[in-house]
Structure 1
Amino acid sequence: MIDLTAGLASFLAGARIPAAVREKAKRPLIDTAGVMLSGAGSEVAPPLIRYLDAHHAMGPGIVLGTARTAPAEIAALVNGTFGHALDFDDGIVSAPVHPSSVVVAALLAGAPRLAGPALLDAYVLGVEVAVKLAVAIGIEHYHRGWHGTGTLGIFGAVAALARARRLDPLVTQTAFGLAASMASGVQRNFGTMGKPLHTGWAARNAVVAVELAAAGFSAAQDALEADSGFFAVYGNDRSDPGRVLNELGNPYAIDDPGMSLKRYACCYASHRPIEGLLALRRVLNFSEHDIESVRCVLAPGSLRALIYPRPRNGLEGKFSLEYALAAGVIDPRYSLWTFGDEAVNRPAAQALLPRITVLEDARCAVGDAHAAARGPSRRGFVEVHAVTRDGQHAMSRVDKLPGSPDQPLEWSELRAKFLDCAGAAGLDAGRAGSAFDQLAALEHCENVTSIVQLLRR
């Protein structure tokens, strides 16, 4: 049996992050801070604030986008939930996991006074561990209904905190052992507030696991790889924990394949279809009154998370491909508002839903030998067909995932997204712009607390 837990702890203690990898880490870290702000203006915020009030929760942790503070683990819970609230946070093409919101929420709460370079290093390593574990456990983990952002993100957050706090490797092993008993998140809660809670819960539990381990609490030192450990319980016959240690930092996931930053605030599996629809708008120049039908064809497995053909609110709309396409028929300018309750329940949008058909077809996986092993957002290719009332027809095929390393967001797009997210939390544009600029120069920051203060109301 491999010594996976011990090997991870040793790697975290000694890893040296190349300057080029640090530089690549800035964009997704900035993006994550922005989407956390957007969560502070979302529908998950009021019940979370009521939870803080009910428990009289105050402490050193800053709750982004608000004037609140909280104990570290509660700040991690809230900020992590904010980060995934609008499904606007990043992903990675090699695994169905959104690691950044979990890792960043845990770092800001559990190690708040880091210098910029140390924060970047801890973030890189947290993402690295979450992604390499996700790849090793395999896509079947997702197919069985687990939400990898919660079940695997917790280990990335523990890894980041272990590096940030320079834990002894044996203490780190204990923290991983505790985290193995805290990993959770099921897909049945997609389209509800329970889904972003998976992210916050993972960040919160990582902070608790690290603090308990540092205080002398005990746990199994081989909880990842042992019989009845994490891989044995959450994995399957195709899981391969033996590959993790060989692949750590070789290359770093932040560098290759790189992070994908979302252009649209909905499930990533809808993004290529949206791009296809927008391409058809440019060809046919249609409006909502012109459309007879829209048909979207995707590779098998692509619709797994898109479970609401007739959404009733914004959360369900984020997991409705029918609505994502209807919204683009009405208005090509997607924004945070597009996936809110008011937008989803527009009579025009609801009237369009019966005219939109989505289906899976094996031919969309032809030419992609690894389609079955990929996450739903990037399997094969996507086709979008539109027919107008006057008989025009056009089809658009989309292969590349928007916002991915193959088609990245420009810095100007990232800044615009950050300011839009900050505006949703009620932050002043000038203050938000200053925070963005300082985050963009994070390698020169001596204490990130000064930047985080700008992200408060």
Structure 2
Amino acid sequence: GSDLRAVYAGFSAKGAVLAALLAEQGASGLGTLFEGPNGVFPTYFASHDSAGMRAGLGADFQGGATLYKRWPAVGTSHSHMKAAIDIVTAEGIAPDEIAEICLAVGDFHMLGCTPLEKRRAPETLVDAKFAMPFLVAVAIVRRGMSVADFAPERLRDPEVLATAAKVVPVPDPSLDWTMEMPPGRVEIVLADGRRFTATGTQVPGNADAPMSWDDVNAKFRECCAAALHPPAPDTVAKVCAMAQGLDGLDDATEILRVLTQTTANRGAA
């Protein structure tokens, strides 16, 4: 129920920017912070690879490999969502034809399924984004997901809630999270007795199915539409073009100026 889930990463980003600005002004740090007798590594890790951590530092920028999620919910639910979408799309299944939705889940998946009744009908936006039965139900009903699906009225959508009530988690130790999270598996049972099973692969935004610029722009437009004061369509289009041509801009913050100025103007109006 906490809203902190939506902002905590900002504190890490703020700390990184502040550290860079302090270093730029000549402020020095502790040379023993990480590897000194009481440093971070000796305190929290049994062993560490200093050389490996420094390899390529300043030359190999890992940010270029950043992946963007197509669906605005916890990533560990996406393979189950994709499997469910694949089934209902391929078979042309309507939600009211479904009798049961069985989710094969490992230990970490199960966290998003308990307590089951609350995960089927979450009461807040933050809870909904981590409630696997609800997320799979949205994916089935909408054949996808957007940020609009987490508006207060959408959390009470009777078709989504009726579909979520049919979701049953089935423990499967082979899907426990050890190193890489195994893809989820879904079985949909219809009222007429037919059964369809799929494993969630080629999840939009994953390394094997990265988002295209069209996908990124579509998600950005969805987010803009959910703003208190949505920017004008021409502004959204301009920002999308600026982001795609980011390496040609003299100042990357110009994107924010364009977006916030026009949004503020619309809010004042």
TM over 0.5: yes
Cα displacement string for residues 419-449 of structure 1 (whole angstroms, at most 9, x for unaligned residues): 2222222111111111111221122211234
SS at match of 2:139: helix
Q: What is the rounded CA distance, in whole Å, between the counterparts of 1:443 and 1:387 in structure 2? A: 50
Identity %: 20
Match of 1:352 in 2: 163
The match for 2:74 is 267
Pairing 1:436–2:234 present: no
Q: TM-score, normalized by length of structure 2? A: 0.82
- Counterpart residue number, 1:419: 221
For 1:9-158, list aligned pairs within 5 A.
Answer: none
Unaligned 5+ residue runs, structure 1?
1-190, 366-370
Distance 2:109 2:168 in 1: 14
Aligned to 2:90: 283
Aligned counterpart for 2:8 among listed residues 198, 210, 214: 198
Change (3 A) 1:282 1:214: closer
Tell me: CA distance 1:453–1:306, structure 2 relative to 1, closer, same or farther (3 Å).
farther
Which residues in structure 2 correspond to 1:370-409 (within 5 Å)? 372-374=178-180, 379-409=181-211
User: Is the Cα contact below 8 Å between 2:112 and 2:119 reproduced in 1?
Assistant: no
Question: Deviation of residue 283 (structure 1)?
Answer: 3.2
Shift of 1:208: 3.4
- Aligned pair count? 255
Per-residue deviation at 1:212?
A: 4.3
Alignment partner, residue 224 of structure 1: 34
Larger Cα Rg: Structure 1 or Structure 2?
2
Out of 348, 361, 364, the residue aligned to residue 172 of structure 2 is: 361
1:314 aligned to 2:125?
yes
1:253 to 57, 62, 66: 62
Give the Cα separation in 2 of the matches to 1:364 and 1:453. Answer: 45
| CA shift for structure 1 position 245 | 1.2
Which residue number in structure 2 is paired with residue 244 of structure 1? Answer: 53
SS at match of 1:427: coil
Query: Could you tell me whether the CA contact under 8 Å between 1:315 and 1:340 is conserved in 2?
Result: no
CA RMSD of aligned residues (A): 2.6
Whole-angstrom distance in 2 between the partners of 1:347 and 1:198? 32
TM-score using structure 1 length: 0.51
Quote the Cα distance in structure 1 between the aligned partners of 2:24 and 2:215: 41
CA distance 1:210–1:453, shift in 2 (3 Å): same
